[in-house]
Amino acid sequence: MLTAEQRSIIKATVPLLESGGEALTTHFYTMMLSEYPEVRPLFNQAHQASGDQPRALANGVLMYARHIDQLEQLGGLVGQIINKHVALQILPEHYPIVGGCLLRAIKEVLGEEIATPAVIDAWGAAYGQLADILIGAEEGLYRQKQEAAGGWRGSREFRLVRREQESSEIVSFYFAPVDGKPVLKADPGQYIGLQVFIDGVEHRRNYSLSALCDGEQYRISVKREAEGKVSNYLHDELKVGDSVPMFPPAGDFTLADGDKPLVLISGGVGITPTLAMLEAALQGERPVHFIHCARNGAVHAFADWIDGLAARHPQLKRFYCYAEDDGSQRATAVGLLSQEQLEQWLPQERDVDAYFLGPKGFMAAVKRHLKGLGVPEQQSRYEFFGPAAALE
């Protein structure tokens, strides 16, 4: 339990974190990943190189410091962290490594005049408090997944039983458990953790489940990224019959029950979790407006499948927006998705449940558009594929 003095010290460091938090977390990651190779598989090196991971951690540390007196004000951030950790199998033994490196980074970046023994002691206590919260919550989630029907704990071997080319950039991979037993049913919108070894080096990645789970297999749909070590490995090397370890489904960005009109908006490979949401929604009579944005028809995945659903389900309306005019007859509109265009595609009644995913800039624009069109902010939901960030 933090003392009143320690809380005051933490809050006093907020201005320093606002101005120098990213430099601190960049130094932290450089130090930790060089000195503790056992934690490297837990971090996507592309996110390190782009600065996304240090920025996300800096924002998380800042939010924690700001709300040290009222941690409930962190809202959904804690749930997002817990689910990401469970999907990657973050364990209690990892926390002392992170804590030790974080305190060293504070001391080395801020200097001894600012990072006094009292400051280090306060941040040590604050980190210990946060670690205890996360470890306890993660253990509860690990146990829940282990005890559920078809569930397991840790890694479980899955075999690739089918792969399908969905567009020029996206391939779907269907996995079934090697042991032949049932698998944990995932909620629409959740993701799995995948463990792969490339040239003897371990990598862990989260991938959204792109189809409703039938209790027998999982499907993920992966876009080839130019610098993506794992995505290129999956596209080029993983063959039907190969097996990979997989961690249980996780994620709190899931389709909530309701009878309000549902609006699903996606950009690029952000379409993947919305596919499972769409399947689930169409099991009832709920009106669904499905809006997908792609660069062009060549990279537009799952169009035939969605068109087929629309033909069979009159409550589904689908709209496609292509950034490039490729002459396709499939595009409903050409150009970037504007508020004016979105207004035409939304239900007239703005009391809707909206879910949106895609590149950060795309999501920031969609969030602005929905707010401008009167969709209640608490009914406008989104999630990041990579490290969490603010949509400003």
Distances in whole angstroms, Cα of residue 387 to Cα of each of 19, 43, 60, 134:
20, 10, 10, 17
Per-residue DSSP letters for 90-158?
A: --TTHHHHHHHHHHHHHHHHH-TTTS-HHHHHHHHHHHHHHHHHHHHHHHHHHHHHHHSTT--SS-EEE
Q: Mention every residue, 6+ apart, whose C-beta is less than 8 A from residue 103.
A: 120, 123, 124, 127
| Residue 95 designated active-site | yes
Could you give the CA distance from residue 245 to residue 98 in angstroms, rounded to a whole number? Answer: 25
Q: What sign for the dihedral angle of Cα 190, 62, 106, 25?
A: positive
The residue behind tokens 């991971």 is 53
Could you give the CA distance from residue 193 to residue 140 in angstroms, rounded to a whole number? Answer: 18
From the list 22, 29, 36, 95, the catalytic residue is 95
From the list 64, 127, 138, 207, the catalytic residue is 138
Residue type, 390: A
Q: Are 275 and 302 in contact (CB under 8 A)?
A: yes
Per-residue DSSP letters for 25-61?
A: HHHHHHHHHHH-GGGGGGS-HHHHHHTHHHHHHHHHH
Q: DSSP label at 286?
A: -
Provide the CA 345 distance to its chain's centre, in angstroms: 26
**Closest CA relative to residue 113, chosen from 233, 246, 16:** 16
Q: Mention every residue, 6+ apart, whose C-beta is less than 8 A from residue 348.
A: none
| Residue 285 designated active-site | no
Just list the catalytic residues. Answer: 95, 138
